[in-house]
Structure 1
Amino acid sequence: MKTNKNQMDLEMNLNAPHSMGTTIIGVTYNGGVVLGADSRTSTGMYVANRASDKITQLTDNVYVCRSGSINLSFASTHLTLLFYLGFLAADSQIVSDYVRYFLHQHTIQLGQSATSKVAANLIRLLSYNNKKMLETGLIVGGWDKYEGGKIYAIPLGGTLIEQPFAIGGSGSSYLYGFFDQAWKEGMTKDEAEQLVVKAVSLAIARDGASGGVVRTVIINSEGVTRNFYPGDKLQLWHEELEPQNSLLDLLNSSNPEPMNI
Structure 2
Amino acid sequence: ATSTGTTIVGLIYKDGICLGADTRATEGPIVADKNCEKIHYIAPNIYCCGAGTAADTEFTTNLISSQIELHSLSTGRKPRVVTAMTLLKQMLYKYQGHVGAALVLGGFDATGPQLYTVYPHGSTDKLPYVTMGSGSLAAMSIFESKWKPNMNREEAINLVQEAIEAGIFNDLGSGSNVDVCVITKDDTQYLRNHARPNERGIKEQSYRFPRGTTAILKSSIEKLVTVTEGDSMDMSL
Q: TM-score range by the shorter chain?
A: 0.7 to 0.9
2:16 is matched with: 32
Counterpart check, 1:57 vs 2:41: yes
**In 2, Cα distance between the equivalents of 1:214 and 1:68?**
18
2:30 is matched with: 46
Change in Cα spacing, 1:132 to 1:160, as seen in structure 2 (3 Å) is closer
More helix per residue: 1 or 2? 1
Change in Cα spacing, 1:106 to 1:41, as seen in structure 2 (3 Å) is same
Q: Is the 8 Å Cα contact of residues 244 and 250 (structure 1) preserved in structure 2?
A: no
Counterpart check, 1:112 vs 2:96: no
**In 1, Cα distance between the equivalents of 2:133 and 2:175?**
12
**In 2, Cα distance between the equivalents of 1:48 and 1:65?**
19
Q: Pick from 201, 204, 212: which aligns with 1:249?
A: 204
**In 2, Cα distance between the equivalents of 1:231 and 1:45?**
24
Change in Cα spacing, 1:229 to 1:132, as seen in structure 2 (3 Å) is closer
Q: Is the 8 Å Cα contact of residues 134 and 174 (structure 2) preserved in structure 1?
A: yes
**In 2, Cα distance between the equivalents of 1:194 and 1:25?**
12
Q: Is the 8 Å Cα contact of residues 60 and 113 (structure 1) preserved in structure 2?
A: no
SS of residue matched to 1:178: helix
Task: Spell out the pairing of 1:206-217 with structure 2 (5 A cutoff).
Answer: 206-217=170-181
**In 2, Cα distance between the equivalents of 1:33 and 1:25?**
11
Change in Cα spacing, 1:205 to 1:98, as seen in structure 2 (3 Å) is same
Give 1:38 deviation, angstroms: 0.4
Q: Pick from 155, 158, 165: which aligns with 1:194?
A: 158
Q: Is the 8 Å Cα contact of residues 121 and 160 (structure 1) preserved in structure 2?
A: no
Change in Cα spacing, 1:149 to 1:204, as seen in structure 2 (3 Å) is same
Give 1:188 deviation, angstroms: 0.9
Change in Cα spacing, 1:141 to 1:230, as seen in structure 2 (3 Å) is closer
**In 1, Cα distance between the equivalents of 2:126 and 2:14?**
16
Give 1:65 deviation, angstroms: 0.3
**In 2, Cα distance between the equivalents of 1:123 and 1:249?**
50
Give 1:189 deviation, angstroms: 1.2
**1:126-149: per-residue Cα shift (whole Å, max 9, x none)?**
11111241112001000012x111
Alignment-mate amino acid for residue 249 of structure 1: E
**In 2, Cα distance between the equivalents of 1:175 and 1:20?**
16
Counterpart check, 1:68 vs 2:52: yes
1:227 is matched with: 191
**In 1, Cα distance between the equivalents of 2:104 and 2:39?**
9
Give 1:117 deviation, angstroms: 0.9
Q: Give the total of aligned pairs.
A: 207
Give me the identity figure in percent.
28
**In 2, Cα distance between the equivalents of 1:132 and 1:187?**
35
Give 1:245 deviation, angstroms: 2.9
**In 2, Cα distance between the equivalents of 1:195 and 1:250?**
37
Counterpart check, 1:161 vs 2:125: yes
SS of residue matched to 2:115: strand
SS of residue matched to 2:135: helix
**In 1, Cα distance between the equivalents of 2:24 and 2:151?**
28
Moved over 4 A (4+): none
**In 2, Cα distance between the equivalents of 1:116 and 1:245?**
42
**1:146-190: per-residue Cα shift (whole Å, max 9, x none)?**
x11110110231111111011000000222232111111111111
Alignment-mate amino acid for residue 17 of structure 2: V
Larger radius of gyration: 2
Structure 2 gap ranges (5+): 208-237
1:130 is matched with: 95
After TM superposition, the score normalised by the length of structure 1 is 0.75
**1:231-261: per-residue Cα shift (whole Å, max 9, x none)?**
64x3xxxxxxx85435x42788xxxxxxxxx
**In 2, Cα distance between the equivalents of 1:137 and 1:153?**
8
RMSD over aligned CA atoms reads 1.8
Give 1:33 deviation, angstroms: 0.1
Alignment-mate amino acid for residue 205 of structure 1: F
